[in-house]
Amino acid sequence: MIYIALYILLALFALLDLLKNGNQVKPLVFWASVFLLIFISSIRWNVGTDWYSYIEFFSNIQTYVAHPELNMMERGFTYINYFAASLNLGYTAMLSLMAILMIGIKAKVTFEHRQIMMISLFLYYCYFFADIFGVRQSLAISLTLYSVRFIIDKRFVPFLLVVLIASSIHITAIFFIFSYWVYHIKYSPKLLYGVLLAALLLGFMDIGGFAVDTALNIVGLDSRVGEKLKIYGSDGMDTAQGNPYIAFAVGVAKRALFLPLFISCQRFISPLYQSRYTGYLNLLIFGNIIYLLFMISLPVIARLSTGFLLFEIFILGYLVITVQNKWLRMLAFLLVMLFGAFRLYNLIAVYWDLYIPFETIFAPSNVIRE
């Protein structure tokens, strides 16, 4: 199966981050792997979530541009489709353009993390399928990830510009604007634990749903809008049944294991990476607060945390290379590999019929349709 083959290949390449002489070949291997992922994403056909809704949108893009009142997609994403359609090369051109942007932008940022770029690429695949099946939110997240460089340099105007562009592709990206201030805040571990615990208790008490209902009523919107928000996105959560309570329990268990580890190990990170590790941890915790507050009441709003989950990849990479003993470092990498396999299996299992089998444009029936 292609998913297992990619997992094994990227896991083997990730070992280069642990080898003394790995830096000599890592750039070539990294970009070759990125090209492979872009190619696979470009040639897929009739596979992945939301396939039919996106291809329908692309096929009727002229109508949606001429009649914006019918268009439910963001304007930026609309014009990306319009540009691809104007090439008259079919939907594969759109898939290729999206793959180059989604995967390429994330790859550029990942490549700048030279010490952990292969581990990060491996985890990017395990966490997000490396955006092989990416949708418009995937592209928006790529842009918000790119904007972090402006947070680090404290350049608000270019940061805001990138976030606004990302928001024109998927509106949830606008929430990333808070990252500009969250990234640089200095928290004590006790305060972090306290805030996370409070978010957990408030989320379990459905305070998130109450807050949204109250806000909708204040601005004069019908409360039924809130009900639609609660229904929207309730399918296909982290479990096959889509039960938000089960998903919430699994999510909390995972966070109860990982977040204390990330917080407690912060002091062991090399001074070379300490500042970036702390900033990424701040963003990750901020995203987890959103998740804990809204996962039960409004799963669709909890998805705002997806863009922040990306920073967990880099944090795990830094933790692995922080281990000084080479055998313990290999053990840490093995544990990360096993966790990656678990993540990847969950991605496939939730929408098994949409991922299996993996079809490409080169299948005879698909060539005719394209």
Cis amide leading into 189 (omega within 30): no
Same domain for 154 and 43 = no
Q: What is the pLDDT of residue 211?
A: 64
Q: What is the DSSP letter of 240?
A: T
C-alpha–C-alpha distance, residues 131 and 139, integer Å: 9
**Which contacts qualify for 250-257: CB closer than 8 Å, 24 or more apart?**
251/291, 251/295, 252/200, 252/292, 255/196, 255/288, 255/291, 255/292
Same domain, yes or no: 9 and 125: yes
The Cα–Cα gap between 223 and 226 comes to: 5
Q: Are residues 267 and 364 in the same domain?
A: no
One domain, residues 160 and 261? no
Radius of gyration of the chain (CA): 21
- What is residue 300's predicted lDDT score, i.e. its pLDDT? 61
pLDDT value, residue 337: 96
- What kind and span of H or E run contains 171? none
Residues 205 and 305 grouped into a single domain: yes
DSSP-H helix ranges across 117-233: 117-128, 136-152, 156-167, 179-182, 189-204, 207-218, 223-231
Q: Which residues is 360 bridged to in the sheet?
A: 44
Domain C-terminal end among 118, 153, 179: 179
Enumerate residues 6+ apart whose C-beta is below 8 A from 102: 41, 131, 134, 138, 139, 142
Rounded Cα distance, 160 and 138, in Å: 19
Give the pLDDT confidence score for residue 233 in this predicted structure: 43
The one-character DSSP state at 360 is B
Residues counted in the chain: 370
Same domain, 149 and 93: no
Q: Which residues pair with 44 in a beta bridge?
A: 360
Check if the beta carbon of residue 254 is closer than 8 Å to that of residue 262. no
Angle, nearest 10°, between helix axes 207-218 and 271-294?
70
Query: What's the pLDDT score for residue 206?
Result: 67
- Are both 337 and 314 inside the same structural domain? no
Q: Are residues 229 and 306 in the same domain?
A: yes
Determine the residue type at 250: V
What is the per-residue DSSP string for 30-78?
A: HHHHHHHHHHHHHHB-S-STTHHHHHHHHHTHHHHHH-GGG--S-HHHH
| Residues 257, 63: Cα–Cα separation, whole Å | 49
206 and 158, same structural domain? no
Tens-of-pLDDT digits for all 370 residues of the chain?
Answer: 899 999 999 999 999 999 888 788 999 999 999 999 999 999 999 999 899 999 999 999 999 998 888 888 999 999 999 999 998 889 999 999 999 999 999 999 999 999 999 999 999 999 999 999 999 999 999 999 999 999 999 999 999 999 999 999 998 898 899 999 999 988 888 888 888 888 888 877 766 666 656 655 665 554 444 444 444 444 333 333 455 566 667 778 888 889 999 999 998 998 999 999 999 999 999 999 888 887 766 666 667 788 899 999 999 999 999 998 989 999 999 999 999 999 999 999 988 999 999 999 987 666 545 5
Q: Do 51 and 155 belong to one domain?
A: no
Residue 360 has a CB neighbour count (10 Å cut-off) of 17
Please give the C-alpha separations between residue 28 and each of 35, 99, 108, 117, 321, in angstroms, as whole numbers.
Answer: 11, 19, 13, 12, 21
Domain span holding position 199: 185-322
Domain tally, the chain? 3
pTM as predicted: 0.89
Residues 288 and 247 in one domain: yes
**Are 252 and 332 part of one and the same domain?**
no
CA distance 251 to 248: 5
